[in-house]
């Protein structure tokens, strides 16, 4: 039973990364569909005609953001933020150095222990539950760049879906339209809350 639990625990470490990848690629696929199909939202509307150049610009911008999100997320995950393997002994220890009893090593100033990763991280910001790794000195720029391109991609998706929201709001604010807008967010928050309580 313990071997099975170890396999589940080791494969479960990559679950946040897989879920984030599915989310990012599904948003990209949805916006690609909007750009390529140009389907009207209402039956009496005629199909909008976009030029080939306009479509190419949209798809280039979208896949540029997707490539940057994927590249920076992979660099973030591959970069080890811990100080494991760094050892200074004897007189090399400077002022402000402490001893971490969990890692059984000396740690430099502004280094703190992460109990989720079970390592000491230099300039630790926080433990990111979406990527399952600490944000520290060595991977901070990849994390911020990934967040920036995710923010830009979501803003782009909101702009591309503005027509959908306008059609929903034109029908009137009903219980059904509020559920259509809020249900994905409620599901996301409940899944995150469930994962954090585990």
Query: Is the whole model's pTM more than 0.95, yes or no?
Result: no
Residue range 148-189, pLDDT digits in tens: 998 888 888 777 777 777 776 777 777 776 776 677 777 667
Q: pLDDT-derived band of residue 42, with 50, 70 and 90 as boundaries? A: low
Residue 172 lies in a domain: yes
What local confidence, expressed as pLDDT, does residue 141 receive? 94
| Parent domain of 95 | 2-40+50-197
Residue 45 lies in a domain: no
Query: DSSP letters of 136-149?
Result: -TTTHHHHHHHHHH
Domain count across the chain: 1
Query: DSSP letters of 43-61?
Result: TTSPPP---HHHHHHHHHH
**100 is an active site residue:** no
Q: Residue 85: which residues within 8 A CB-CB, separation 6 or more?
A: none
Residue 157 lies in a domain: yes
Given 120, 128, 134, 146, the catalytic residue: 128
Residue range 44-103, pLDDT digits in tens: 655 556 677 777 888 888 889 889 988 998 899 888 888 876 665 555 666 778 888 888
């Amino acid at each position: 039973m313990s071997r099975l639990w170890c396999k589940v625990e080791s494969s479960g470490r990559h679950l946040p990364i897989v879920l984030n990848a599915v989310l990012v690629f599904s948003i990209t696929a949805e916006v690609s569909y909007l750009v390529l199909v140009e389907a009207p939202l209402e039956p009496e509307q005629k199909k909008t005609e976009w030029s080939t150049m306009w479509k190419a610009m949209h798809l280039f911008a979208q896949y540029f953001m997707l490539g940057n999100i994927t590249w920076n997320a992979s660099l973030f995950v591959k970069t080890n933020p811990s100080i494991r393997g760094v050892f200074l002994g004897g007189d090399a220890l400077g002022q402000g150095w402490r001893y971490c009893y969990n890692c059984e090593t000396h740690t430099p100033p502004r280094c703190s222990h992460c109990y989720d990763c079970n390592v000491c991280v230099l300039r630790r910001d926080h433990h990111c539950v979406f990527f399952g790794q600490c944000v520290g000195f060595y991977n901070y720029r990849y994390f911020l760049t990934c967040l920036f391109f995710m923010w830009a991609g979501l803003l782009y998706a909101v702009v591309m879906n503005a027509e959908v929201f306008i059609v929903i709001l034109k029908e009137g604010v009903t219980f059904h339209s509020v559920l259509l807008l809020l249900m994905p967010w409620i599901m996301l928050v409940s899944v995150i809350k469930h994962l954090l309580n585990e």
